[in-house]
């Protein structure tokens, strides 16, 4: 099949939702009726980067870094490091237990993700794309492998640079330096930066690491144009985003909403209500708790969430039912985060274990809030990666939002949560780091 030219002139399309979830047919022929074959490129393809910059797309994996700027920093290293063509890594780790959106895209719309990855490769002049998927996400792995084979069989030359890697199932394995370290033959554990992957990544080459959803958006931006992308979302945070809504809602699952939608609307769309909730966890287990009052006032965008100590993160939203004890759930999440430590940094290994144990003690009636807060400030910002910061943020938000419940516990008045443990916590399993 001859490669169709990439359309950088926006095709007028209606600003309706869903976008990413519009076509889940998972079949190359029907996908190609809407999207042309990504080009091969030996040099950075500047038009793509410009389009992505104009779109204002920010990474949807959690950090929210501007994607266009990231493309440009990798592309600009191209001429400086002769013989080291960049690499594109698709981050499909999705280690966040409350998020399922990347697995949904990979298993139901892999061609959009692969197009995005190949367009990003063209943008930075990369010849190789590695799609990293959690090795236990069998449906996603199967779909991505099938989609890759389908492209090779149909003669798409750009597909020859694609490969799929099944990565270890660890939360921190999805940190970009950990992915790079593992792809280079090491353990899937974060490394000390600098150098960051864009400077020296896979095989010492400049490496672009982008989240699955981010790349799906990128494919749509190149196809339909940055202005089309900006028809939804806010000026500062344009576009739509996938949210995984779980907890006390009727329609548990992945929804697509404009960034900046009111949190109460997102929850209502999922068949829930803030009046039938005790709190909302935004950003997943790596996120922060909001009280129902805070949630009522906030839109789903960093502009509103940052002042509340929260953020979009990966878009996971958990509605805590009224019968649950927020302190108990906080202790369970901090315990899970502590267990996800790679065991490399002393302050993380010991500090998170202390925070987890201390929160359980507080739940059991220990009046130790001051000590917990002191430990939290000691642990913050100390690791090679952001795991300690995530645990600290989650704990602090829990102590603030559930202050009444905390007071009951530390003064021995007992727990008001009639429901017992509510949030799903992944089983601890022994998983190799290689």
Partner 1 sequence: MAVRVGRAVAHKVRLDPIACDGHGVCAELFPERISLDDWGYPIVDDTPVDDSLLPHAKRAVEACPVIALRLERIMKGDGERRTTAAGDRQAAAR
197 binds partner 1 (CB under 8 A): no
Query: What is the smallest separation between the CB atom of 82 and partner 1, expressed in angstroms?
Result: 22
| Helix (H), strand (E) at residue 102 | helix 101-108
Nearer to partner 1, 252 or 354 (CB): 354
182 binds partner 1 (CB under 8 A): no
Half-sphere exposure of 48 (CA within 13 A, CB side): 32
Where in 64-103 is the site for partner 1 (CB under 8 A)? none
Torsion of Cα atoms, 184 then 389 then 90 then 280, to 10°: 150
**Using CB under 8 A, which of the segments 148-156, 322-330, 349-357, 403-411 binds partner 1?**
349-357
| Size of residue set near partner 1 by CB under 8 A | 16
**Using CB under 8 A, which of the segments 20-28, 96-104, 347-355, 419-427 binds partner 1?**
347-355
Q: How many CB atoms lie within 10 A of CB 10?
A: 16
Query: What is the smallest separation between the CB atom of 59 and partner 1, expressed in angstroms?
Result: 24
344 binds partner 1 (CB under 8 A): yes
Query: What is the smallest separation between the CB atom of 348 and partner 1, expressed in angstroms?
Result: 8
375 binds partner 1 (CB under 8 A): yes
Which tokens go with 199? Answer: 């400077």
| Helix (H), strand (E) at residue 316 | strand 316-320
**Using CB under 8 A, which of the segments 48-56, 221-229, 237-245, 374-382 binds partner 1?**
374-382
CA 358 to chain centre: 28
**Using CB under 8 A, which of the segments 75-83, 118-126, 225-233, 338-346 binds partner 1?**
338-346
**Binds partner 1 (CB under 8 A): choice among 32, 142, 382, 408:** 382
Nearer to partner 1, 120 or 348 (CB): 348
350 binds partner 1 (CB under 8 A): yes
Distances (CA, A) of 278 to 117, 194, 292, 319, 431: 40, 42, 7, 8, 35
346 binds partner 1 (CB under 8 A): yes
Cis-peptide into 272, omega within 30 deg = no
- Torsion angles phi and psi, residue 132, rounded to 5: -95, 120
CA distance linking residue 165 with residue 19, whole number of Å: 27
**Binds partner 1 (CB under 8 A): choice among 165, 354, 373, 400:** 354
**Binds partner 1 (CB under 8 A): choice among 384, 392, 399, 401:** 384
Nearer to partner 1, 170 or 255 (CB): 170
383 binds partner 1 (CB under 8 A): yes
- In three-state secondary structure terms, 134 is strand
CA distance linking residue 173 with residue 329, whole number of Å: 24
193 binds partner 1 (CB under 8 A): no
Nearer to partner 1, 26 or 344 (CB): 344
**Binds partner 1 (CB under 8 A): choice among 50, 378, 389, 416:** 378
Indicate the burial class of 343 (C-beta count within 10 angstroms; 0-12, 13-18, 19 or more). Answer: exposed
Q: Find out whether 418 and 425 touch, Cβ atoms under 8 Å.
A: no
Nearer to partner 1, 193 or 269 (CB): 193
**Binds partner 1 (CB under 8 A): choice among 26, 347, 368, 389:** 347
- Torsion angles phi and psi, residue 283, rounded to 5: 95, 5
416 binds partner 1 (CB under 8 A): no
Q: Find out whether 249 and 255 touch, Cβ atoms under 8 Å.
A: no
Query: What is the smallest separation between the CB atom of 384 and partner 1, expressed in angstroms?
Result: 5
Nearer to partner 1, 81 or 354 (CB): 354
Query: What is the smallest separation between the CB atom of 335 and partner 1, expressed in angstroms?
Result: 18
**Binds partner 1 (CB under 8 A): choice among 41, 107, 148, 191:** 191
Nearer to partner 1, 34 or 347 (CB): 347
**Binds partner 1 (CB under 8 A): choice among 333, 345, 399, 406:** 345
Angle between helices 110-124 and 67-77 (to 10 degrees): 50
CA distance linking residue 368 with residue 230, whole number of Å: 48
Nearer to partner 1, 32 or 350 (CB): 350
CA 132 to chain centre: 13
What burial letters (b/e) apply to 111-139, b meaning 16+ CB within 10 Å? bbbbbbbbbbbbbbbbbbbbbbbbeebee
CA distance linking residue 432 with residue 434, whole number of Å: 5
Q: How many CB atoms lie within 10 A of CB 200?
A: 18
- Which stretches of the chain bind partner 1, using CB under 8 A? 191-192, 344-348, 350-351, 354, 375, 378-379, 382-384
């Amino acid at each position: 099949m001859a490669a169709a030219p990439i359309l950088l002139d926006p095709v007028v399309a209606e600003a309706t939702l869903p976008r990413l979830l519009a076509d889940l047919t998972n079949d190359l022929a029907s996908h190609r009726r809407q999207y042309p074959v990504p080009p091969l490129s030996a040099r950075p393809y500047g038009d793509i980067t410009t389009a992505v910059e104009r779109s204002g797309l920010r990474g949807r994996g959690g950090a929210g870094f501007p994607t266009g700027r990231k493309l440009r920093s990798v592309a600009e290293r191209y001429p400086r490091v002769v013989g080291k063509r960049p690499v594109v890594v698709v981050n499909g780790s999705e280690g966040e237990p409350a998020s399922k959106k990347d697995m949904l895209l990979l298993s139901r719309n892999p061609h959009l993700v692969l197009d995005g990855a190949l367009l990003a490769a063209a943008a930075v002049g990369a010849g190789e794309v590695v799609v990293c998927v959690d090795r236990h996400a069998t449906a996603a792995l199967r779909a991505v492998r099938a989609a890759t084979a389908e492209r090779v069989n149909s003669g798409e030359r750009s597909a020859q640079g694609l490969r799929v890697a099944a990565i270890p199932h660890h939360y921190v394995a999805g940190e970009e330096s950990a992915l790079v370290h593992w792809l280079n033959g090491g353990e899937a554990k974060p490394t000390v930066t600098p150098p960051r992957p864009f400077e020296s990544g896979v095989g010492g080459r400049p490496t672009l690491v982008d989240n699955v959803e981010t790349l799906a958006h990128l494919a749509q931006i190149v196809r339909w144009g940055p202005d089309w992308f900006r028809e939804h979302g806010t000026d500062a945070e344009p576009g739509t985003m996938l949210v995984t809504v779980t907890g006390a809602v009727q329609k548990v699952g992945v929804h697509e909403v404009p960034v900046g939608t009111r949190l109460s609307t997102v929850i209502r769309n999922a068949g829930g209500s803030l009046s039938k909730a005790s709190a909302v966890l935004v950003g997943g287990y790596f996120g922060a708790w909001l009280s129902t009052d805070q949630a009522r006032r906030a839109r789903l965008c960093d502009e509103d969430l940052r002042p509340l100590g929260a953020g979009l993160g990966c878009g996971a939203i958990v509605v805590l039912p009224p019968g649950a004890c927020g302190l108990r759930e906080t202790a369970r999440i901090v315990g899970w985060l502590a267990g996800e430590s790679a065991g490399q940094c002393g302050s993380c290994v010991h500090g998170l274990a202390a925070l987890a144990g201390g929160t359980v003690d507080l739940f059991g009636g220990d009046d130790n809030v001051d000590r917990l807060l002191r430990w939290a400030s000691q642990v913050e910002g100390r690791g090679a990666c952001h795991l300690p910061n995530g645990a600290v943020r989650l704990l602090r938000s829990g102590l603030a939002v559930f202050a009444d419940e905390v007071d009951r516990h530390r003064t021995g008045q007992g727990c008001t949560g009639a429901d017992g443990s509510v949030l799903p916590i992944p089983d601890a399993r022994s998983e190799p780091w290689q």
